Amino acid sequence: MVDTGSANRRDDRTPVLAVAGIGKSYAEGKQRRTVLADIGFEVARGECVALVGQSGSGKSTLLNLLAGIDKPDTGDVEIMGRSIAAMGEPELTLLRREHIGFIYQFFNLIPTLTVAENLALPLELNRIPSAVRRQRIGDWLAKVGLDGREGAFPDELSGGEQQRVAIARAIIHEPALVLADEPTGNLDGRTGNVVLQLLAHLFRDQGRTLILVTHSRAVSEVADRILALDNGRLTHDTEALSW
C-alpha cells in the first residue's frame, strides 16, 4: 500500500525539492563519462528557478533525475520530503501524477483529444470528481485566455495556444512542483514572450513552484533564482537580480 498521505502531513517549511550529492555518468566505450557531479540544492515552496547552462552541460539529465524519470548513480532527490531513491516504479508514478506537472518544448498535447479532454487527463488520473473537473477546466481555459476553445483539437491551435493549453494541463491538478523544459523554445520571440509572461503571472499568482530549463535570457529573467550548470557542475546559485 502506497502512503500518499505522508506529503500532506509535512509542514510548509519542508522544501518542495531537495537534491543532495547527485552524480550521473554514462558508459562511453570502455570508460564512463561524468555528466553530473555532486549537485546539491533545495527549492522552497513558491520559488521560480531557472536552470541555465551551455548545450551539453547536463540540464535535461538533471531535470529527468528531478522527475524520477532517471535514477542518479549517487545522491538522492526528495520531493515534498520523500526520497525517490528507494521508491519503486508504481510509487514513483503515483508521486509524479499527483505532485509534478510537466511543460515540454514541443507541447506534447494528445492530438486525438480536444483541448478540454487534454485538460481533463490529469484530473481523471487523480480521481478528481467530474463536477469539479468541469469547473476547473472552465477556470483554467479562462486563465490562459482560451475561453470557448475547449472543443478544438491541438492541430487547430497555434503554437502559442497549444503551449497555453499545455501550461494549464501542467497546473490544473495543483501539483507541488512544475518542471518546464525550454517552454518557449519552439515559439517565435513575440509569442514566446506572451507565453512567458503568462507562465510567470500564473506561478506568482498561485504561489506554485517552478523549475525551468532554458537557454533564453528572457526566460531566466522571470525567475527568482538562477542555477547555472557548467560541464555537469553547479557553478552559480544566485538570486535572479544579481544574475
Ligand X SMILES: Nc1ncnc2c1ncn2[C@@H]1O[C@H](COP(=O)(O)OP(=O)(O)OP(=O)(O)O)[C@@H](O)[C@H]1O
- According to the binding rule CB under 6 A, does residue 106 interact with ligand X? no
Q: How far apart are CA 141 and CA 183, in angstroms?
A: 18
**166 touches 184 (CB < 8 A):** no
CB of 58 to ligand X, least distance (A): 4
- According to the binding rule CB under 6 A, does residue 35 interact with ligand X? yes
Q: Which stretch binds ligand X (CB under 6 A): 5-13, 58-66, 169-177, 195-203?
A: 58-66
Binds ligand X by CB under 6 A, chosen from 2, 6, 26, 237: 26
- According to the binding rule CB under 6 A, does residue 53 interact with ligand X? yes
- According to the binding rule CB under 6 A, does residue 57 interact with ligand X? yes
CB of 149 to ligand X, least distance (A): 31
- According to the binding rule CB under 6 A, does residue 59 interact with ligand X? yes
- Residue 55 vs 242, nearer CB to ligand X: 55
- Residue 70 vs 156, nearer CB to ligand X: 70
- Residue 3 vs 230, nearer CB to ligand X: 230
- Residue 59 vs 99, nearer CB to ligand X: 59
CB of 72 to ligand X, least distance (A): 13
Binds ligand X by CB under 6 A, chosen from 4, 34, 60, 74: 60
Ramachandran region of residue 127, left (φ > 0), alpha (ψ -120 to 50) or beta?
left
CB of 15 to ligand X, least distance (A): 23
Cα 224 to Cα 96, 134, 238: the distances in Å are: 24, 33, 9
Binds ligand X by CB under 6 A, chosen from 17, 18, 22, 58: 58
CB of 77 to ligand X, least distance (A): 15
Q: Which stretch binds ligand X (CB under 6 A): 49-57, 95-103, 111-119, 144-152?
A: 49-57
Binding residues (CB under 6 A) for ligand X: these are 26, 35, 53, 55-61
